[in-house]
Amino acid sequence: MTRFADLDGAPTELRERLASAGLDARAVHDAVVRALEEDLPGEDVTSAATIDPAEVATADLVARADGVVAGLDVAELVFWTVVGPGLDLTRRVDDGQPVTRGDVLLAATGPTAALLTAERTALNFLCHLSGVATTTAAWVRALEGTGARVRDTRKTTPGFRALEKYAVRCGGGVNHRATLSDQALVKDNHVLAAGGVVQAYEAVRKRFPDVPVQVEVTTLDQLRELLDVGCDQILLDNMSTPQMAEAVTVTAGRARLEASGGLDLRRAREVAETGVDFLAVGALTHSAPVLDVAMDLRSPGDSGGAP
């Protein structure tokens, strides 16, 4: 929509930051515009009625809780898309940094009405992505010193996979496959359809010889079968802690093992100490609570928080 600024005019450094984060700036801008259109089928009637169009203000995005930040570049893009070239932004922190309650994350100066119009969309992105990063960081802390890494899944919000997986990286986690095309993951229904774990594995290897393959197992016998044919990525599904420990012993370094199914923070370290390489945690993206961030307009004469 012409009432929103096009990406081509966005600051070069903002587009470069998005690219360096592994994000497609055009796709992120498209997501921002869709969100703004959802919020603005017409005019922002409240701001239009109460604020002089010529009024300019500075607004601070302030953490209301401790956590890890992700999505500041997306929030910046929201403000820029609404305000355009008249926007002035000052970053106080970067994505991936821990913050505490009361920290100012970003200061935006521009037309007051436009800042308020952009506020909720910017915060929706920032709070959700920071929530994913904060949840991931809690898992990372739980696994410290074990050698295991927490890894995400495809249980993401439709249309937000790249952003949510970016937030996982900000929290210190590891991304699993992003699509059904970049890696094969043979699960129970594939095994059933193919007639067994080895048959399923070998079918993928024959059809797509250059694609990485991970196979899900529920028993140690299935694990042994796969190790015998050279499978080097195996998912241990809903195994008990003793079973996983035995799986690590049986594997003896011949494959990377990933624990999956029913994992929570209370079991995280116990599972990691079995010697598995990864813990698959869908909750990083599908159940992360938001990190509370608010936007506060400064009072006249207020210079904002300390940089």
What does the pLDDT look like over 215-243, one tens digit per residue?
Answer: 999 999 999 999 999 999 999 999 999 99
- Pick the closest to residue 87 from 114, 63, 65 (CA basis): 114
DSSP secondary structure, 147-181, as one string: S-EEE--S---TT-HHHHHHHHHHTT-B---SSSS
Q: Is residue 176 part of a domain?
A: yes
| b/e 208-247 (16+ beta carbons within 10 angstroms → b) | eeeeebbbbbbebebbebbbeeebebbbbbebeeebbbeb
Containing structural domain, residue 116:
18-133+289-297
For residues 50 and 160, state if they share a domain.
no
Neighbours of 167 (CB within 10 A): 32
For residues 205 and 274, state if they share a domain.
yes
Q: What is the pTM of this model?
A: 0.94
155 is known as an active-site residue: yes
For residues 98 and 62, state if they share a domain.
yes
Task: Please report where in the chains the tokens 């990525």 appear, as a residue.
Answer: 233
Q: Is residue 221 part of a domain?
A: yes
Task: Give the confidence band of 303 by pLDDT, cuts at 50, 70, 90.
Answer: low
Mean pLDDT in the chain? Answer: 95
165 is known as an active-site residue: no
Instruction: Compute CA 147 distance to the chain's CA centroid, rounded to the nearest angstrom.
Output: 22
DSSP secondary structure, 3-69, as one string: TS--GGGS-HHHHHHHHHTT--HHHHHHHHHHHHHHH-SS--HHHHHHS-TT-EEEEEEEESS-EE-
Q: Is residue 306 part of a domain?
A: no
For residues 155 and 251, state if they share a domain.
yes
Catalytically annotated residue among 95, 225, 237, 277: 237
Catalytically annotated residue among 103, 216, 225, 258: 216
Total count of domains within the chain: 2
For residues 104 and 158, state if they share a domain.
no
- Pick the closest to residue 83 from 50, 47, 124, 49 (CA basis): 47
Q: Is residue 12 part of a domain?
A: no
CA angle, 125 as apex, 119 and 128 as ends, to 5°?
Answer: 120
Catalytically annotated residue among 39, 44, 66, 120: 120
Q: Is residue 82 part of a domain?
A: yes
For residues 151 and 114, state if they share a domain.
no
Task: Give the confidence band of 301 by pLDDT, cuts at 50, 70, 90.
Answer: low
pLDDT in the model for residue 284: 98
Query: Which residues have a Cβ under 8 Å from the Cβ of 78 and sit 6 or more positions away?
Result: 32, 35, 36, 118, 121, 122, 125
For residues 144 and 282, state if they share a domain.
yes
216 is known as an active-site residue: yes
pLDDT in the model for residue 262: 85
pLDDT in the model for residue 306: 46
For residues 62 and 81, state if they share a domain.
yes
Catalytically annotated residue among 91, 154, 187, 269: 187
pLDDT tens, 7-52?
999 999 999 999 999 999 999 999 999 999 999 999 999 999 999 9
The pair of structure tokens assigned to 29 is 């801008």
Task: Give the confidence band of 162 by pLDDT, cuts at 50, 70, 90.
Answer: very high
pLDDT in the model for residue 4: 92
pLDDT in the model for residue 158: 95
The pair of structure tokens assigned to 8 is 């081509």
Q: Is residue 68 part of a domain?
A: yes
For residues 199 and 236, state if they share a domain.
yes
pLDDT tens, 251-296?
999 999 999 998 999 999 999 999 999 999 999 999 999 999 999 9
For residues 121 and 245, state if they share a domain.
no
Question: Residues 295, 122: contact at Cβ < 8 Å?
Answer: yes
What CATH number does the domain containing 160 carry? 3.20.20.70
Task: Please report where in the chains the tokens 């959802």 appear, as a residue.
Answer: 38
Instruction: Report d(CA 70, CA 67) in Å as an integer.
Output: 10
Residue 151 exposed, middle or buried by CB count within 10 Å (0-12, 13-18, 19+): buried
pLDDT tens, 120-144?
999 999 999 999 999 999 999 999 9
Instruction: Report d(CA 187, CA 216) in Å as an integer.
Output: 5
- Tell me which H or E stretch contains 146: none
237 is known as an active-site residue: yes
For residues 34 and 104, state if they share a domain.
yes
What CATH number does the domain containing 73 carry? 3.90.1170.20
Instruction: Report d(CA 182, CA 212) in Å as an integer.
Output: 8
Q: Is residue 57 part of a domain?
A: yes
Task: Please report where in the chains the tokens 């936007």 appear, as a residue.
Answer: 295
Catalytically annotated residue among 91, 149, 154, 155: 155
Confidence check: pLDDT of 2 > 60: no
For residues 279 and 150, state if they share a domain.
yes
pLDDT in the model for residue 176: 97
pLDDT tens, 53-101?
999 999 999 999 999 999 999 999 999 999 998 899 999 999 999 999 9
